[in-house]
Chains A and B, each alone.
Chain A
Amino acid sequence: MTPLPTATGRQGAAALARLVRAHPGAALTALAWTVASAALTVAVPLLLGRLVDAVRAGAGYPTGLVLGTGSAILAGAAGTALALRATERLGARVAADLREQVVARTLALPPAVLENAGRGDAASRVTEDLEDFVTAVPLVAEVLRAGVAIVLSTAGFLTLDWRLALAFAVVFPIYGLSLWVYLPRAARLYAAERRLAAERGRVLLESLHGRSTVHAYGMAALQTRRLAGASRDAVTVGLRAARGYLWFSKSMNAAEAAGLVAVLLTGYWLVRADLVSVGAVTAAALLFHRLFDPLATVLLAFDDVQRAHAALARAVGVLRVPRPAPGVTRRPAGTRSVSIRARNVRHAYGGGAEVLHDVDLSVPAGTSLALVGGSGAGKTTLANLIAGTFAATGGRITLTDADGAVDVAALDPAVLRDWIGVISQETAVFTGSLRDDLTLAAPGSDDEQIFAALRAARADAWVRALPHGLDTPVGPGGHELTAARVQQLALARLALRDPPAVVLDEATAEAGSAGARDLDEAAAALIDGRTAIVVAHRLTQARACDRIAVLAGGRIAETGTHDDLIARGGRYAALWAAWSSRAEVSAGPAAPSVDCPSGTASRTGHPTRPPR
Chain B
Amino acid sequence: MPALRTGMLRRQVRPLVLACAASSAHQVCEALVPLAIGLAVDHAVDGGPPGAILVAVAGIVALFALLATGGGTTFWQITAVATEEAHDLRVRVAGRLLADPRAGAGRGAGDLATVLVSDAKAVAETARVVVNVVSGCAGLLVTVAVLVRVDVWLGLGIALGVPALALAVDRISPWLQRRIEFRQRTSGLAAALAAELVQGLRPLRGFGGVPEAVRRYRRAGRASRDAALRGATASAVVEGAGLLATGLVLVGTVAAAGAMSRSGRVSVGEFVTVVAMAAFVGDPVRRIATGIRLAAVSRAGAARIAVLLEPADAAPPPPEAGPEIDVRPGEMLGIVTTGAAADDDLAGRLAAAGGDVLVEPHTVHLFGRTLPEALDTGRDPDPATIGRALTAAQADDVDTALLDGGVNLSGGQRQRVALARALAARPSLLVLCDPLTAVDAVTADLVASGLATARRADRGTTVVLSTAPALLARCDRVLFLAGDRPPAVGTHAQLTANAEYAEVVLR
Q: In the assembly, what is the distance between CA of A282 and CA of B76, in Å?
A: 35
A446 within 8 A of B: no
The residue among A96, A106, A423, A425 with the most chain B CB atoms within 10 A of its own CB is A96
A606 within 8 A of B: yes
* Chain A residue at minimal CB-CB distance from B194: A126
CB distance from B466 to the nearest CB of A (A): 7
Interfacial chain B residues near A509, Cβ < 8 Å: 411-412, 437-438
B408 within 8 A of A: yes
B361 touches A212 (CB 8 A): yes
Stretch binding the partner chain, chosen from A181-189, A248-256, A395-403: A248-256
Interfacial chain A residues near B221, Cβ < 8 Å: 96, 99-100, 103
State whether A497 and B208 are in contact (beta carbons under 8 Å apart), knowing that A76-B247, A123-B198 are contacts in the complex.
yes
A524 within 8 A of B: no
* Chain A residue at minimal CB-CB distance from B183: A92
Which residues of A122-163 have CB atoms within 8 Å of chain B's CB atoms? Answer: 122-123, 126-127, 130-131, 134, 137-138
Q: In the assembly, what is the distance between CA of A238 and CA of B198, in Å?
A: 31
A100 touches B218 (CB 8 A): yes
State whether A69 and B108 are in contact (beta carbons under 8 Å apart), knowing that A224-B94, A257-B64, A514-B338 are contacts in the complex.
no
B87 within 8 A of A: yes
CB distance from B367 to the nearest CB of A (A): 6
CB distance from B208 to the nearest CB of A (A): 3
Determine which of A215, A265, A374, A441 lies in contact with B101 in the assembled complex, contact meaning CB atoms within 8 Å: A215
Q: In the assembly, what is the distance between CA of A509 and CA of B63, in Å?
A: 73
Interfacial chain B residues near A282, Cβ < 8 Å: 37, 41, 45, 268, 272
Q: In the assembly, what is the distance between CA of A578 and CA of B53, in Å?
A: 100
* Chain A residue at minimal CB-CB distance from B360: A216
Q: In the assembly, what is the distance between CA of A513 and CA of B116, in Å?
A: 37
Q: In the assembly, what is the distance between CA of A131 and CA of B189, in Å?
A: 11
Determine which of B56, B202, B211 lies in contact with A424 in the assembled complex, contact meaning CB atoms within 8 Å: B202
A417 touches B207 (CB 8 A): yes
Interfacial chain A residues near B458, Cβ < 8 Å: none
- Smallest CB-CB A-B distances: 10 pairs: A417-B208, A81-B240, A210-B365, A428-B200, A85-B236, A96-B225, A77-B243, A88-B232, A92-B228, A257-B64
A513 touches B434 (CB 8 A): yes
Q: In the assembly, what is the distance between CA of A223 and CA of B365, in Å?
A: 13
B507 touches A516 (CB 8 A): yes
Interfacial chain B residues near A272, Cβ < 8 Å: 47
* Chain B residue at minimal CB-CB distance from A115: B202
Which residues of A426-453 have CB atoms within 8 Å of chain B's CB atoms? Answer: 426-428, 430-431, 436, 439-441, 443
B387 within 8 A of A: no
A207 within 8 A of B: yes
How many inter-chain residue pairs (CB < 8 Å) link A and B?
A: 499
State whether A126 and B338 are in contact (beta carbons under 8 Å apart), knowing that A421-B207, A595-B442 are contacts in the complex.
no
A107 touches B196 (CB 8 A): no
A431 touches B192 (CB 8 A): yes
Interfacial chain B residues near A96, Cβ < 8 Å: 221-222, 224-225, 228
Q: A130-B194, A428-B204, A591-B446 are in contact. List 20 more A-B contacts (CB 8 A).
A: A80-B243, A85-B236, A103-B194, A119-B199, A127-B194, A224-B94, A227-B94, A286-B275, A289-B37, A289-B276, A418-B208, A421-B206, A425-B411, A443-B212, A512-B437, A513-B337, A540-B506, A580-B506, A597-B440, A598-B446
Q: How many residues of A are counted as interface, with CB atoms below 8 angstroms from the partner's CB atoms?
A: 180
* Chain B residue at minimal CB-CB distance from A231: B87
B251 touches A70 (CB 8 A): yes
Interfacial chain A residues near B412, Cβ < 8 Å: 375, 509
Interfacial chain B residues near A290, Cβ < 8 Å: 279
* Chain B residue at minimal CB-CB distance from A87: B232
CB distance from A273 to the nearest CB of B (A): 12
B405 touches A242 (CB 8 A): no
B166 within 8 A of A: no
Determine which of A61, A260, A440 lies in contact with B213 in the assembled complex, contact meaning CB atoms within 8 Å: A440
The residue among B33, B76, B94 with the most chain A CB atoms within 10 A of its own CB is B94
Q: In the assembly, what is the distance between CA of A372 and CA of B441, in Å?
A: 9
State whether A213 and B365 are in contact (beta carbons under 8 Å apart), knowing that A66-B255, A77-B247, A95-B228 are contacts in the complex.
yes
A431 touches B193 (CB 8 A): yes
B80 touches A511 (CB 8 A): no
A204 within 8 A of B: yes
* Chain B residue at minimal CB-CB distance from A495: B207
B198 touches A122 (CB 8 A): yes
A513 touches B467 (CB 8 A): yes
A323 within 8 A of B: no
A575 within 8 A of B: yes
B217 within 8 A of A: yes
State whether A476 and B108 are in contact (beta carbons under 8 Å apart), knowing that A253-B67, A428-B200, A514-B339 are contacts in the complex.
yes
Chain A, residues 232-274, CB within 8 Å of chain B (1/0): the string is 1011001100110110011001101100110011011001100
Interfacial chain A residues near B72, Cβ < 8 Å: 246, 249-250
Interfacial chain B residues near A264, Cβ < 8 Å: 37, 40, 44-45, 53, 56-57, 60
* Chain B residue at minimal CB-CB distance from A256: B64
B99 touches A224 (CB 8 A): yes
CB distance from A488 to the nearest CB of B (A): 14
B493 touches A583 (CB 8 A): yes
Stretch binding the partner chain, chosen from B14-22, B149-157, B297-305, B396-404: B396-404
Q: In the assembly, what is the distance between CA of A540 and CA of B469, in Å?
A: 12
CB distance from A128 to the nearest CB of B (A): 9
B449 within 8 A of A: yes
CB distance from B39 to the nearest CB of A (A): 11
A220 touches B98 (CB 8 A): yes
CB distance from B259 to the nearest CB of A (A): 6
CB distance from B165 to the nearest CB of A (A): 12
B441 touches A51 (CB 8 A): no
B258 within 8 A of A: yes
A74 touches B207 (CB 8 A): no
A599 within 8 A of B: yes
A58 touches B262 (CB 8 A): yes
A281 touches B41 (CB 8 A): yes
B443 touches A61 (CB 8 A): no
Q: In the assembly, what is the distance between CA of A221 and CA of B95, in Å?
A: 7
State whether A475 and B410 are in contact (beta carbons under 8 Å apart), knowing that A104-B217, A578-B470, A579-B470 are contacts in the complex.
no
A55 within 8 A of B: yes
A48 touches B254 (CB 8 A): yes
Interfacial chain B residues near A271, Cβ < 8 Å: 45-47
B6 within 8 A of A: no
* Chain A residue at minimal CB-CB distance from B339: A514
B232 touches A89 (CB 8 A): yes
A375 touches B397 (CB 8 A): yes
A575 touches B441 (CB 8 A): yes
Interfacial chain B residues near A589, Cβ < 8 Å: 449
Could you show 21 A-B contacts with beta carbons less than 8 Å apart? A48-B254, A55-B261, A107-B204, A107-B213, A108-B214, A126-B198, A207-B367, A209-B405, A213-B361, A242-B79, A264-B60, A290-B279, A373-B442, A425-B410, A441-B208, A476-B108, A510-B411, A513-B340, A514-B339, A517-B507, A586-B469
B385 within 8 A of A: no
* Chain A residue at minimal CB-CB distance from B79: A242
B41 touches A424 (CB 8 A): no
Chain A, residues 193-208, CB within 8 Å of chain B (1/0): the string is 0000000011011111
* Chain B residue at minimal CB-CB distance from A609: B408
